Amino acid sequence: MTRSTMRRAARCMAVAVLVTYATAAGLMGSPVLEAPAVAQTMGQVPGQSLGGVSDTEFWRQIRRGVVGTVSLPDKQAAVLVQSEGDNWRAMRNGPVSTFGGWVLLAMIVVLAVFFAVRGRIRVDSGLSGRTVERFNALERFTHWLTASSFIVLALTGLNVLYGRYVLMPIIGQDTFAALTYWGKLAHNYIAFAFMIGLALMVFVWVKDNLPSREDLTWMAKGGGLFVKGVHPPAKKFNFGQKAIFWVVVLGGTSLAYTGLSLMFFFDLKVFSASFVLLNLFGFDLPTQLTALQESQLAQLWHAVLALIVTAVIIAHIYIGSLGMEGAFDAVSTGQVDENWAREHHSLWVAEVKGEAPPSAPMERPPAE
């Protein structure tokens, strides 16, 4: 074959390839070379994989928690992105932890200032040496069961919220991890002892903690806490003790309910109406909350309420130990000095001893 023949054959093959390519492009109805331009200008891709939906709208729906379908047993996996988790984390690590830290610190500072100014509240008439039974064995058991379990719950809960910032730099990551693990187990199981204590508190003391008109006098005189020698009449429990009782009972019940929901992950259906208020504070919640969103709100409420109750209990521990002479005997031996009882619970002493109730608040000059 001569060179000229070979060149003519090559030119014929080239023309045939071009004709075939042009024919195929015409049969497809759209120029192949224009596909990249279409994809760049109209938000489409070859094959119509996204149709007319842009990437922006696609991810917006995912971030808003659109629910797909899955064959997994856990149907929550159908939600690719649960954006409320970011809001929960920001709220927990921001306002909740900051608020709780300031509340606890403020309570300690207030008590320290009160002690420095007022000092320990003494028995103005002096100890008589005679005692009156204030709490029997069941009442003392109820107090210490509730108190000891709450202390463990408070310490382990505070460790979850603040431990990484306070303890971990001191004891190290490994020790902190082990402490937090065992603390979490203790928190879960000792919570049931606290719940039993709450039930016993209601059974034993609810009748003595109902409001009465003597509470108004007690509040008007500040319970005699700020003025020496002034002791408003009170029954077995004064207004301050009644307030602590209801804070512990109602707050503890709410803590128990939300705590159980977090342990067993059941839908509370009590926070659904709160989404309107939470939206005002930056949450982007849907009108119908899922079980996971309910749990996130339950955890926030659990933390906030626990911090408030802990602050109240700190004040209770102070006044029942360092703050008031003779008060600790009531929960240690169950016996209190008669003069202490007459100064702080005069109506109760009169009832126990069958005496006529005092007609006016007891006011004694402070002992020299």
When pLDDT is cut at 50, 70 and 90, the band that residue 253 belongs to is very high
Q: How many angstroms separate the first and last alpha carbons of the chain?
A: 137
Whether pLDDT at 266 is above 60: no
pLDDT of amino acid 284: 57
pLDDT tens by residue, 26-73: 444 444 444 444 444 454 555 555 555 567 776 776 666 677 778 877
At residue 279 the predicted structure's pLDDT band, cuts being 50, 70 and 90, is low
Tally Cβ neighbours within 10 Å of residue 262. Answer: 16
Averaged pLDDT score across all residues of the chain: 81
The token pair at 113 is 């200032």
Q: What's the half-sphere exposure (Cβ side, CA atoms, 13 Å) at 17?
A: 6
Sequence-distant (6+) residues with CB within 8 A of 179 are: 159, 163, 167, 171
pLDDT in tens, 294-313: 788 889 999 999 999 999 99
Q: Name which of 2-16, 99-113, 139-153, 245-259 the model is least confident about.
A: 2-16
- pLDDT more than 90, % of the chain: 54
How far is the C-alpha of 89 from the C-alpha of 85, rounded, in Å? 6
Question: Would you state the pLDDT for residue 30?
Answer: 43
pLDDT tens profile 66-91? 777 788 777 677 777 777 777 888 88
Rounded mean pLDDT, 7-36:
48
Q: Which pLDDT value is given to residue 185?
A: 94
pLDDT of res. 72? 79
- Whether the predicted pLDDT of 333 surpasses 50: yes
